[in-house]
């Protein structure tokens, strides 16, 4: 499951950029905004500099960062849609002596069954894929004006964001440290009687 959700890190980041930086004329037009938000991820990424403020350069889909990210997205989509390459599911070569299977090399039953599925699912390279997504995010951030990038990074580091409906201003709702506590007030005579065990 982790392998399937890695591209979501980048998709969430792109959606945050759109939420924070989308041009006011597009944001105020529900059809234009919905069209932008619902477009395919590659189209969305390539049109960030057109539909959002703060970009000093376009995000080049042919950059190494985008190409590697796109590979992860394609692998995830193949898994989700049940597309598979038979060659990747190969686990061994087998010959037959009449009806007796003779394997070219010994592998455990686990390696020949569950191991093949796990290997094909990409679980073994989740950390590598996360690094690819982090590089992709860093590349997109590098396309922003320095002051805008700084503001976006503040939003990325916070969990609770809000929008003032009166002026459409975005902000951080709560500080990093929040304390929640309560005080219980019990009458003194009640406390004393509760402490005495019943006989």
pLDDT at 49: 96
Q: What would the mean pLDDT of 75-104 be, rounded to a whole number?
A: 72
Percent of all residues in the chain with a pLDDT value above 90, rounded to a whole number: 41
Alpha-carbon span 126 to 119, nearest angstrom: 11
Kindly report the pTM of this predicted structure: 0.69
Alpha-carbon span 52 to 164, nearest angstrom: 20
Percent of all residues in the chain with a pLDDT value above 70, rounded to a whole number: 75
Centre a 10 Å sphere on the Cβ of residue 19 and count the other Cβ atoms it contains.
15
Q: Which of 88-92, 111-115, 175-179 has the highest mean pLDDT?
A: 175-179
Q: How far is CA 54 from CA 20, 59, 191, in A?
A: 10, 12, 62
Q: Compute the chain's Rg from CA coordinates.
A: 27
């Amino acid at each position: 499951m982790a392998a399937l959700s890695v591209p979501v890190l980048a998709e969430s980041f792109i959606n945050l950029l759109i939420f924070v930086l989308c041009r006011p004329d597009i944001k105020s037009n529900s059809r234009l905004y919905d069209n932008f938000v619902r477009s395919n991820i590659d189209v969305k990424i390539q049109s960030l500099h057109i539909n959002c403020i703060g970009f000093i350069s376009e995000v080049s889909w042919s950059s190494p960062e985008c190409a590697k990210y796109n590979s992860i997205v394609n692998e995830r989509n193949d898994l989700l849609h049940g597309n598979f390459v038979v060659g990747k599911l190969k686990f061994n070569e087998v010959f037959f002596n009449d009806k007796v299977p003779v394997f070219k090399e010994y592998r455990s039953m686990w390696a020949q069954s569950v191991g093949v599925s796990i290997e094909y699912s990409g679980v073994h390279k989740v950390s590598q894929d996360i690094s690819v997504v982090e590089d992709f995010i860093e590349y997109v951030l590098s396309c922003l004006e320095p002051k805008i990038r700084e503001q976006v990074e503040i939003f990325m580091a916070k969990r609770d964001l809000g929008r003032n409906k009166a002026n459409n201003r975005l902000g951080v709702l709560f500080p990093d440290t929040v304390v929640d506590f309560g005080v219980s007030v019990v009458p003194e005579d009640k406390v004393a009687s509760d402490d005495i065990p019943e006989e």
